[in-house]
Amino acid sequence: MKMAFLISGCTRHTQPLSINKDNVMREEKHVPRRAIEVKFFKRLAPPLVAAFLVLSPISTTPVSGAQIVDIQRGGTLFRQACIGCHDAGGNIIQPASTLFTKDLQRNGVDTEEAIYRVTYYGKGRMPGFGKECMPRGQCTFGARLGDEEIKLLAEFVKLQADQGWPSIETREK
């Protein structure tokens, strides 16, 4: 399922991933017969997506090794600092402020810069994680994050939002 992280800039790739997501959703309903199919598809999906990415002439932005590493680092940071409130891109405290594009747009947080700012300084009941986050009451009592880390997070969140949060990987750790 790591492949879900690797998709960058190729909006047309949302199709195979949303199929994958549907399967996952079906699985949650515990339909026994479907479960077998789902298992089959889940096993097949990553190589299919991989092949699609490699072969696809549509993609004008090939994903470089460095980008993959960045996305994975962003994912790791997300699991460490954000997943408590934003599991799978949701928002357990404020359900109308998820990390899905629809909410991000409505709330004016749909650019990497805006996501960076919210993550750095916080907003409402979300604490800021930046080293120079101000005022103190708005900032996390936990570990602060470096500027570079917040940048990776902003990239990760934006990418995930663009793809409709395809990766269920974020739930694993």
Please, which residues have CB within 8 angstroms of residue 68's CB and are 6 or more apart in sequence? 5, 6
Separation CA 74–CA 157 (nearest Å): 8
Owner of token pair 């408590």: 84
Do you find a cis peptide bond into 46, omega within 30 degrees of 0? no
Q: How far is the CB of 83 from ligand HEC (least distance, A)?
A: 8
Residue 99 makes contact with ligand HEC by CB under 6 A: yes
Separation CA 78–CA 65 (nearest Å): 20
Amino acid letter, 16: P
Binding to ligand HEC, residues 37-96 (CB under 6 A):
81-82, 84-86, 91, 93-94
Instruction: Figure out which of the listed residues 14, 76, 107, 138 binds ligand HEC, where binding follows CB under 6 A.
Output: 107
Residue 129 makes contact with ligand HEC by CB under 6 A: yes
Instruction: Figure out which of the listed residues 3, 10, 115, 159 binds ligand HEC, where binding follows CB under 6 A.
Output: 115
Instruction: Figure out which of the listed residues 123, 138, 144, 164 binds ligand HEC, where binding follows CB under 6 A.
Output: 123
| N-to-C CA span, the chain | 14
Which tokens go with 18? 């949303």
Residue 118 makes contact with ligand HEC by CB under 6 A: yes
Q: How far is the CB of 140 from ligand HEC (least distance, A)?
A: 7
CB 120 within 8 A of CB 150: yes
Residue 151 makes contact with ligand HEC by CB under 6 A: no
Residue 159 makes contact with ligand HEC by CB under 6 A: no
Q: How far is the CB of 144 from ligand HEC (least distance, A)?
A: 10
Please, which residues have CB within 8 angstroms of residue 130's CB and are 6 or more apart in sequence? 119, 120, 121, 139, 144, 145, 147, 150
Q: Which residues are near ligand HEC by CB under 6 A?
A: 81-82, 84-86, 91, 93-94, 97-99, 103-104, 107, 109, 115, 118-119, 123-127, 129, 153, 157
